[in-house]
Amino acid sequence: MKQIIVTTHEELRELFHESIQKFKEGLEAEPQHQAPSDPIFTMDEATAYLKLSKSTLYGYTSKSIIPHFKQGKRVLFRKSHLDHWLDLKQRGNTTTP
């Protein structure tokens, strides 16, 4: 047989408040998400990292010579992809003007 519990509005409010507090404490105890181990560079960051002019880098992206992706209108680069591209370039496996 199920038990019926009668409670006041204030008691119910207090129980709800305690439950929310415990939930918040549980969230705070969870480890925070760490930054990705593969940074994403903006156009300016990529030009500084690669030591290329902005116009050269734009040219490489428009000709799909260098790995990149777009987020809206922004052109972005993954550091690991740039490193791999540099390795290939050093070995002579890429076509750059």
What are the pLDDT digits (tens) for 13-68?
898 888 888 877 776 665 555 556 889 999 999 999 999 999 999 999 999 999 99
* pLDDT attached to residue 5: 82
Geometric angle at alpha carbon 85, from 77 and 71, rounded to 5°: 15
Sign of CA dihedral 57, 60, 65, 71: positive
φ/ψ (deg, to 5) at 96: -120, 140
Q: Which two tokens stand for residue 29?
A: 């105890």
Question: Region 79-91: what's the mean pLDDT?
Answer: 92
Quickly list H helices, 3-97.
9-29, 43-50, 54-62, 79-91
